[in-house]
Amino acid sequence: MGVRATQRLKRRLVTALELPKDVALGLPVTTMMGNEEVFVSNHKGLLEYGAGHIRLATAVGKIKIFGSNMILKEITAESVSIKGRVEKIIWEA
Amino acid sequence: MFIKIWYFFTGYVRIEIAGFSVERFISQATAKGVVFWNMQRNGAKFVAYITKKDFAHSKEISQKTGTKVEAAAVFGLPYILARLKKRLFLFLGGLAFAASMLLLTSFVWRIDIIGTDRLDDGEIITFLEQNGLTFGSFRRNIAYRDIESALILEFLDIAHVSLNITGTRATISIAESILVAETLDTSLPADIVAAKDAVIVYMATTAGQPLLRPGDVVAAGEVIVAGELVLGSAEEGNLSHAHTHAVSEVWGRVYYAMHFEIPLTYFEKTFTNRVSRGYTIHVGNGSFNLPRIFGVSQDEFLYSVTTENRWQLGLGANLPLPFVRTTTTHYELVRHLRTRSTDAAKDLAIELANRRIDEELGINADIIDKQIIFTENERALMAEVFLIVIERIDLAKPIEMGTYDE
């Protein structure tokens, strides 16, 4: 059984059992506080911290957060808290 | 908030990260458990904060990722202590200060008594001293509950007491018992006697044998209504005595005479602007006066008014320390001899008379006539005040049964 097939089976099982997907599949959870704060948990690392954007790796792709005056309020192995004026969030497959 | 306190105690570093793969460095470091906070891009450099422990780890990772990590500033207790180690005497002084504070705060340096009205604070302080609570008592040796119990047993006027020691301040909160008016047991035989010399104007007797009637003159202490009832008659041979608690409302016309003498000369006191201050320092139970360096001496004042102000050194309200400064201030006065006009003296006499009448007469007393006769000599004005007042004069007086034949 290949990796993709295993993943598919795992996903089906999690859906059938109604398990929390962030815990069971490691899917990222993105929480926004207005346009002032973004909290991303289950990230896989910081890919880019540019002048007007921050890019993070996740289990399902990359998340790109655009904005100004953005600071990494806290970054740990599990979560990132970004503070600043958030303008746009894009998921890259 | 708490995490910041924690970081302060463990120490933290503001770092500057530079290089081509800063993001890689951050990802690798976070994967190894390093926590960054308040990370900001500052041109080509990144500025962030990490704990002292993580800073050491980050050095290794930076070598692998080819980035340069530098400490821009250090914060927190470990770094402060490290700096202090170089200044040994400052460090030792701080320790000595902390130790002396710890020692000083183990004793009671102030005793406050609150809630007393009739009781004398001085007596309570003396009693507390005898029971182990005084200025300088070791806090651990104070038997709170025993002192409270002893106070209640010693002072019958205390209904409730609580002793609280907060910091170095002992507070005794006292609730005094309520004074109960002395009442006569109505089951015991009693006469109604006159409370004052008067002419009776009204009587309403509900129990007892009236001996007098309205219009009669009565002297203070004279029986108005007897509690002894005479039953039957001697002629019929069935004479007997019974006793009751006489009850009667008796109003009488009472005459008052008051005398006031108002001097026609008096001294008016005015303050000059000269003030003399003296300072006394109390350390524990000892005290010494600070020598006067500036200002005038109190000995130069012929007349003065003195005030005393007490200030105790402390760390807030609940941690007074055994250092007290007393400031004694003498304000110089000068006396000017003034004369008072006859009219002013009369006004003053009337004012004093009214004040005395308010003090002496009850609220139910009805003044039906008031006369003031003034006489004057070269020194003073004399005022004779005559009052005719209608007021209650009945007073219950218990009968001593031993004096009666049963």
The distance of A90 to chain B (nearest Cα, Å) reads: 19
**Of the candidates B219, B211, B210, B204, which has an alpha carbon nearest to the alpha carbon of residue B255?**
B219
B22–A76 CB contact, under 8 Å: no
CA dist A28 → A23, A33, A40, B45, B275 (Å): 9, 16, 7, 28, 78
Residue A61 placed within a domain: yes
The domain total for chain A is 1
Residues of chain B neighbouring A48 (CB-CB closer than 8 A) = 23
Residue A19 placed within a domain: no
The distance of A45 to chain B (nearest Cα, Å) reads: 5
3-state secondary structure of B181: coil
Q: DSSP string covering A17-47, please?
A: HT--HHHHT---EEEEETTTEEEEESEEEEE
Q: Which residue has the tokens 């049964």?
A: B401
Residue A59 placed within a domain: yes
Distance CA B212, CA B198 (A): 12
Q: Say what the pLDDT of residue B371 is.
A: 92
B287 touches chain A (CB under 8 A): no
Residues of chain B neighbouring A76 (CB-CB closer than 8 A) = 30, 33, 35
A72–B40 CB contact, under 8 Å: yes
Nearest-by-Cβ selection for B33 from A50, A73, A77: A77
Residue A39 placed within a domain: yes
A48–B23 CB contact, under 8 Å: yes
Q: Is residue B320 exposed (0-12), middle (13-18) or buried (19+ Cβ within 10 Å)?
A: buried
Give the pair of three-digit tokens for residue B130: 């005898």
User: Which secondary-structure segment (H or E) carries A3?
Assistant: helix A3-17
Residue A5 placed within a domain: no
Residues of chain B neighbouring A77 (CB-CB closer than 8 A) = 30-33
Would you say B208 and B186 are in contact if contact means Cβ atoms under 8 Å apart? no
Contacts with A, B 179-208, CB within 8 Å? none
Neighbours of B132 (CB within 10 A): 14
Q: Where are the beta strands (DSSP E) in B299-365?
A: 303-314, 320-339
Give bridge partners of residue A32 from the DSSP assignment: A38
Among chain A residues, CA nearest to B26: A46
Residue A7 placed within a domain: no
Distance CA B356, CA B367 (A): 13
What is the pLDDT averaged over residues A53-81?
A: 92
Nearest-by-Cβ selection for B37 from A47, A50, A74: A74
Residue A17 placed within a domain: no
Residue A4 placed within a domain: no
Give the pair of three-digit tokens for residue A22: 């962030």
Q: Say what the pLDDT of residue A1 is.
A: 64
**Of the candidates B340, B244, B251, B325, which has an alpha carbon nearest to the alpha carbon of residue B281?**
B325
Lowest-confidence region among A12-16, A63-67, B121-125, B246-250: A12-16
A73 touches chain B (CB under 8 A): yes
Domain at A66, CATH number: 2.60.40.2000
**Of the candidates B8, B3, B7, B54, which has an alpha carbon nearest to the alpha carbon of residue B17?**
B54
Residues of chain A neighbouring B36 (CB-CB closer than 8 A) = 72, 74-75
What angle (nearest 5°) sits at the alpha carbon of residue B285, between those of residues B281 and B287? 30
User: CA A11, A16, A17, A18 torsion: positive or negative?
Assistant: positive
Q: Say what the pLDDT of residue B123 is.
A: 92
Would you say A54 and A40 are in contact if contact means Cβ atoms under 8 Å apart? no
Which of A72, A79, A81, A83 to mutate to test binding with chain B, by most B CBs within 10 Å of its CB?
A: A72
B39–A75 CB contact, under 8 Å: yes
Among chain B residues, CA nearest to A73: B38
Q: Say what the pLDDT of residue B42 is.
A: 84
B40–A73 CB contact, under 8 Å: no
pLDDT digits (tens, 9 = 90+) for A18-39: 888 877 778 899 999 999 999 9
Give residue A35's identity as a one-letter amino acid code.
N
Q: Name B174's Cβ contacts closer than 8 Å, sequence gap at least 6.
A: B113, B114, B115, B116, B119, B124, B151, B158, B160, B161
Domain range enclosing A84: 27-92
Q: Name B298's Cβ contacts closer than 8 Å, sequence gap at least 6.
A: B276, B278, B304, B330
Q: Say what the pLDDT of residue A59 is.
A: 87
B30–A72 CB contact, under 8 Å: no
B307 touches chain A (CB under 8 A): no
B36–A73 CB contact, under 8 Å: no
Q: Say what the pLDDT of residue B199 is.
A: 95
Distance CA B40, CA B83 (A): 28
Q: DSSP string covering A10-24, please?
A: HHHHHHHHT--HHHH
The distance of A9 to chain B (nearest Cα, Å) reads: 28
Q: Say what the pLDDT of residue A60 is.
A: 87
Q: How many Å separate Cα A11 from the centre of its chain? A: 18
Residues of chain A neighbouring B31 (CB-CB closer than 8 A) = 45, 77
Distance CA B333, CA B218 (A): 54
Q: What is the pLDDT along chain B (406 residues), one digit of tens a residue?
A: 788 899 999 999 999 999 888 889 999 999 999 999 999 988 888 999 999 999 988 888 888 888 999 999 999 999 988 888 888 888 889 899 999 988 988 999 989 999 998 899 999 999 999 988 988 899 888 888 899 999 999 998 899 999 998 888 999 999 998 877 667 777 889 999 999 999 999 999 999 999 999 999 999 999 999 998 888 877 887 788 888 899 999 999 999 999 999 999 999 999 998 999 999 999 877 889 988 888 888 888 999 999 999 998 888 888 888 889 999 999 999 999 999 999 999 999 999 999 998 888 877 788 999 999 999 888 899 999 999 999 999 999 988 776 544 4
Contacts A–B by Cβ distance under 8 A: 49
3-state secondary structure of B310: strand
A72–B36 CB contact, under 8 Å: yes
